[in-house]
Structure 1
């Protein structure tokens, strides 16, 4: 398995991976039309067209020529401080629980660190993301976009973090879901 930045020729395969990963997921975004792909598929397409898109932070896991996983981080803000919003993280169901997601997470966090990003926020299961150093955002004074998210909205501070506090705002396309 190799982790690398996405390429234009990967886009169709990435959409298929996202659709497969979220089709049966308990907390996926609803399809935009009955019987359509989960909302995470159009979200990623919208993010590619958004000012918050950071190409270096859209990574794929490939096995041979096949895309088996994808992760994305885009520009977000805590108050007026630029940070990152991570998600979605997608792995083909047949390859889940085999280290693909962990490899993608470690890679995207590594790139974020190299880019001197201060903080990464995400909405997800604390039991999974805690292993990567994510903690409830509220403990650091970062407010979730939706207060009902509770401890499922988490942050990981990176070495250039300087104590930003306030409301977390994802890139605009997240508000369309």
Structure 2
């Protein structure tokens, strides 16, 4: 398996992997995430993209895009990891873990202080992510269950670097921040925070 930056010829294959991974239970969900990522990619917020390739086939993808930390002292550019996708027949084979590592290194190379995400604490916690609240960061939406809002600190955190994380407008326009009911209620119940 090779992990490398996305090349122009990978565009359709990347969107296909996203559609498949996020549309396993509902194809409309996969299409929604692929449309969101296509818009992020076409705009000014894309920071890095990595793919996993096996025998010339794109089998995984991770995106890193722009966000801000609304700190009291100043607005600080940071990074968001989303989406992370692995082809269904390749899930559980370590591709996601390799792509998360590649995303962290790509974000670190940008010189920004933190990489945030919304996701499973069980999956991402074992890959270096910690609860963002432990560092004084607030999620961009109350619809993100606190355990799911996570961060990897990429640089030494000054004492003043705390505050709400702000996503670009594209995430809100696609209603891709946090969960909505009934999914939010089910996750909160499973986490024991309902």
User: Does the TM-score normalized on the shorter chain lie above 0.5?
Assistant: yes
Structure 2 CA distance, aligned partners of 1:85 and 1:172?
A: 14
Farther-moved stretch of structure 1 (7-16 vs 142-151): 142-151
Gaps of 5+ in 1: none
Report Cα offsets for 1:49-84 as digits up to 9, x if no partner: 222112xx1011101110000000111101110000
Instruction: Look up the SS of the partner of 2:31 in the other structure.
Output: coil
TM-score (norm 1): 0.88
Alignment equivalent of 2:63, drawn from 37, 57, 72: 72
Which has the bigger relative contact order, CA under 8 A and spacing at least 6?
1
Instruction: Look up the SS of the partner of 2:46 in the other structure.
Output: coil
Structure 2 CA distance, aligned partners of 1:37 and 1:96?
A: 16
Structure 1 CA distance, aligned partners of 2:30 and 2:23?
A: 7
Name the residue aligned to 1:38: 31
Structure 1 CA distance, aligned partners of 2:30 and 2:137?
A: 32
Gaps of 5+ in 2: 175-194
- Mapped contact 1:6–1:58 kept (Cα < 8 A): yes
Q: How many residues align?
A: 168
Name the residue aligned to 2:153: 157
**Greater gyration radius:** 2
Name the residue aligned to 2:105: 110
TM-score (norm 2): 0.81
Residue correspondence of structure 1 range 69-148 to structure 2 within 5 A: 69-79=60-70, 80-148=75-143
Name the residue aligned to 2:5: 5
